[in-house]
């Protein structure tokens, strides 16, 4: 199990990856609406997740990361099925998903 400061550091990397994906999705003209929606949800959820991370409640933290990773899975799935996704957006989504997935596996 990760220590509280390690969780905070890992979550900071997740936040950065989500922020990068959100910024990239906004700057790309042909971002599929479903992908844009997924990334916006993730971006909004990070504010709530930050509070959960600071709570120290391991159960809530795991559930929160699980929820974020499900949205990350959806974003990655949309990237894989849409030919319209720009390569740099695809890279940002994959990085975001990898960070979420890695954190999830370290928490479980």
What domains are defined for the chain?
Answer: 4-107 (1.20.120)
The pLDDT of residue 7 is 86
Q: Does residue 33 have a pLDDT over 80? A: yes
Which comes out higher in pLDDT, residue 39 or 47?
Answer: 39
Confidence label for 37 from pLDDT (cuts 50, 70 and 90)? very high
9 by DSSP, 3-state: which?
A: helix
Provide the pLDDT for residue 65: 94
pLDDT reading at 6 higher than 90:
no
Q: What is the pLDDT of residue 1?
A: 58
The answer to whether the beta carbons of residues 96 and 18 sit under 8 Å apart is yes
CB atoms inside a 10 Å sphere around CB 49:
21
**Is residue 84 scored above 90 in pLDDT?**
no
**Mean pLDDT to the nearest integer, 38-50:** 92
Using CA atoms, how far residue 84 sits from 19, 34, 37, 71, 79, in Å, is 21, 12, 15, 19, 8
* 35 Cβ contact partners less than 8 Å away, ≥ 6 residues apart: 25, 75, 78, 79, 82, 85, 89, 93
**What pLDDT score does 67 carry?**
95
């Amino acid at each position: 199990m990760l220590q509280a400061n390690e969780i905070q550091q890992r979550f900071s990397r997740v936040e950065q990856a989500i922020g990068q994906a959100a910024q990239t999705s906004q700057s790309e003209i042909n971002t599929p609406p479903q992908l844009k929606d997924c990334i916006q949800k993730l971006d909004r959820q990070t504010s709530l997740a930050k509070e959960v991370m600071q709570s120290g409640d391991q159960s809530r933290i795991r559930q929160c990361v699980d929820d974020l990773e499900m949205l990350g899975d959806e974003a990655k799935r949309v990237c894989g099925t849409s030919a319209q996704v720009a390569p740099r957006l695809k890279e940002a989504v994959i990085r975001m998903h990898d960070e979420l997935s890695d954190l999830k596996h370290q928490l479980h």
